[in-house]
Amino acid sequence: MVAKPIIAAEKAVELIKEGDTVMVGGFLGCGSPPALIDALEQQGTKNLTLVCNDTAFLNFKTGACTHVAKLVAKKQFRKIVVSHIGTNQETQRQMNEGETEVVLVPQGTLAERIRAAGAGLAGVLTPTGVGTEVQEGKQVLDVDGRKFLLEKALPGNVALLKAKKADKAGNLVYDKAARNFNPLMAMACETVIVEADEIVEIGQLDPEIVVTPSVLVHYLVRSKKQG
- Residue ranges binding other proteins (CB under 8 A): 27-31, 53-54, 57, 82-87, 92, 95-96, 104, 106-112, 115, 126-134, 164, 174-184, 211
Q: Which is nearer to other proteins, 111 or 159 (CB)?
A: 111
- Residue 133 is which amino acid? E
The nearest distance, CB 127 to other proteins, in angstroms, is 5
The nearest distance, CB 157 to other proteins, in angstroms, is 20
Task: Please choose, from the candidates 152, 138, 160, the residue with its C-alpha nearest in 3D space to the C-alpha of residue 31.
Answer: 160
The nearest distance, CB 98 to other proteins, in angstroms, is 12
Q: Which is nearer to other proteins, 45 or 91 (CB)?
A: 91
Q: Is 127 exposed, middle or buried (0-12, 13-18, 19+ CB in 10 A)?
A: exposed
Q: Give me the residues paired with residue 141 across strands.
A: 148
The span from the CA of 95 to the CA of 102, in Å, is: 6
Task: Please choose, from the candidates 3, 37, 20, the residue with its C-alpha nearest in 3D space to the C-alpha of residue 220.
Answer: 3
Q: Which is nearer to other proteins, 212 or 214 (CB)?
A: 212
- Residue 145 is which amino acid? G
Are 24 and 223 in contact by the 8 Å Cβ rule? The answer is no
The nearest distance, CB 167 to other proteins, in angstroms, is 19
**Residue 110, C-beta contacts closer than 8 angstroms, at least 6 positions apart:** 51, 53, 81, 82, 83, 154, 181
Q: Which is nearer to other proteins, 33 or 106 (CB)?
A: 106
The nearest distance, CB 18 to other proteins, in angstroms, is 26
The nearest distance, CB 51 to other proteins, in angstroms, is 12
Write the secondary structure of 98-125 as one string of H (helix), E (strand) and C (coil).
CCCEEEECCHHHHHHHHHHHHCCCCEEE
Q: Which is nearer to other proteins, 151 or 167 (CB)?
A: 151
Q: Which is nearer to other proteins, 178 or 196 (CB)?
A: 178
